Amino acid sequence: MRIGFFDSGIGGITVLHQALKLLPNEDYLFYADTQNVPYGEKTKDEVKQYIFQAVQFIADQQVKALVIACNTATSVAIEELRERYAFPILGIEPAVKPAVQKWEIDRKKVLVLATNLTLKEEKFNNLVKRLDHQDIVNCLALPGLVEFAERHQFNEEIVGSYLRQELSRFDLCQYGTVVLGCTHFPYFTGVLRDLFPEGTDLISGSLGTARNLKRILENNDLLESASGNIVFYQSGVRVEDAATLERYGQLLAMMDER
């Protein structure tokens, strides 16, 4: 059986990429809710509806586990999804814990970049409250990056100007770690790296999520020897045209270069 990956758009590919490295002998189903992206600018109720509909569709295709490869969807719906389905469901959260731990070493602050909805959610705010005893965590929503990613604008000058503008109110030298708390953001690692001082770490939860997936499959005796085949769906429609499939392939290859 396949492992399902779900995101509002192409962000989930950045997590799927890590899973393919750790678990190359599995087959995958990748579902992007392209009709409803971006989630981060919508209300919680609206986004929950989209998620429940998409996950039911994925469950109907028979998956053995599901990765919610979207920080926003995880923050609004993961508990309810786990109540609804019997297969293991994993989420992704902004990697605040390792970032805050690094403060012990470098005494530098943490900047969490995510969507507006993730930053508003109780789940994220509880996480920060639990971990940020030194008051070193600052947050910034970057909805523009989701739009750029969906338009496949990764390196254009317009991305740099957007980021310079959004980051202008922060003293970037104060930050030791930048948390990429949205799965669309790792595509912009290069641009972000150029804006922050040398030595600033950019981290995301995607590797941790892939490791969790491997552990859960092992523990549940669900590993198999398949071929790494991926089927893609966009809002309930199987992607079959060569151009779109090639674009997904290019995105995976792009992550290899990161």
Tell me the catalytic residues: 70, 182
Decide: is 39 part of the binding site for ligand DGL (CB under 6 A).
yes
Of 54-62, 178-186, 219-227, 239-247, the segment contacting ligand DGL by CB under 6 A is 178-186
For residue 180, report the phi and psi dihedrals to the nearest 5 degrees: -85, 90
Decide: is 180 part of the binding site for ligand DGL (CB under 6 A).
no
Decide: is 31 part of the binding site for ligand DGL (CB under 6 A).
no
Decide: is 17 part of the binding site for ligand DGL (CB under 6 A).
no
**Rounded Cα–Cα distance for residues 98 and 101 (Å):** 5
Nearer to ligand DGL, 19 or 103 (CB): 19
Label residue 158 left, alpha or beta by phi (over 0 means left) and psi (-120 to 50 means alpha). alpha
**Strand 109-114 relative to strand 89-90: parallel, antiparallel, unpaired?**
unpaired
Considering the complex, what minimum distance in angstroms separates the CB of residue 14 from ligand DGL? 9
Nearer to ligand DGL, 14 or 177 (CB): 14
Q: Which of residues 226-255 bind ligand DGL (CB under 6 A)?
A: none
What are the distances in angstroms from CA 54 to CA 16, 50, 142? 17, 6, 24
Considering the complex, what minimum distance in angstroms separates the CB of residue 146 from ligand DGL? 4
DSSP for 180-247, please give it.
E-STTGGGGHHHHHHHSPTT-EEEESHHHHHHHHHHHHHHTT--------EEEEETTEE---HHHHHH
For residue 114, report the phi and psi dihedrals to the nearest 5 degrees: -160, -170
Q: Which of residues 135-174 bind ligand DGL (CB under 6 A)?
A: 146
Nearer to ligand DGL, 29 or 117 (CB): 117
Among residues 2, 4, 5, 8, the one that binds ligand DGL under rule CB under 6 A: 8
> For residues 5 and 26, is the Cβ–Cβ distance under 8 A?
no
> For residues 255 and 189, is the Cβ–Cβ distance under 8 A?
no
Of 35-43, 99-107, 127-135, 152-160, the segment contacting ligand DGL by CB under 6 A is 35-43
Q: Binding pattern to ligand DGL, positions 91-130, x when CB under 6 A? A: ------------------------x--x------------
Decide: is 184 part of the binding site for ligand DGL (CB under 6 A).
yes
Residues paired with 137 in a beta bridge: 110
Amino acid identity for residue 161 in this structure? S
> For residues 104 and 43, is the Cβ–Cβ distance under 8 A?
no
Decide: is 38 part of the binding site for ligand DGL (CB under 6 A).
yes
Decide: is 186 part of the binding site for ligand DGL (CB under 6 A).
no
Considering the complex, what minimum distance in angstroms separates the CB of residue 183 from ligand DGL? 4
What secondary structure letter does DSSP report for 12?
G
Contact residues for ligand DGL (CB under 6 A)? 7-9, 11, 37-40, 70-72, 115, 118, 146, 182-184
